[in-house]
Amino acid sequence: MENNIKENISWHNTEISKIDRQKLLGQKSCVLWFTGLSGSGKSTISSKVDEKLHNLGVSTYLLDGDNVRHGLNKDLGFGGKDRMENIRRIGEVAKLFVDSGIVVLTAFISPYVDDREKVKNLLGENEFIEIYTKCSLKACEMRDPKGLYKKARNGEIAEFTGISSPYEVPVNPDITIDTENMSVEECSEVVINFIRKGGYVERLI
Known binding residue 36? Answer is: yes
Catalytic site residue 110? yes
Going 104 to 107 to 108 to 114, the CA torsion angle's sign is positive
Query: How far are the Cα atoms of 2, 14, 36, 67 from residue 7, in angstroms, in the given order?
Result: 9, 21, 39, 35
Q: Roughly how many angstroms between the first and final C-alpha of the chain, as a whole number?
A: 50
Known binding residue 96? Answer is: no
Query: How far are the Cα atoms of 7, 9, 10, 13 from residue 4, in angstroms, in the given order?
Result: 5, 9, 12, 22
Known binding residue 41? Answer is: yes
Known binding residue 91? Answer is: no
Beta bridge partners of 176: 132
Q: Beta strands 128-134 and 103-107: pairing type?
A: unpaired
Known binding residue 46? Answer is: no
Known binding residue 6? Answer is: no
Which residue out of 29, 46, 110, 165 is catalytically annotated? Answer: 110
Which residues carry a binding-site annotation?
A: 36-43
Which residues carry a binding-site annotation for ATP?
A: 36-43
Which positions are catalytic? Answer: 110
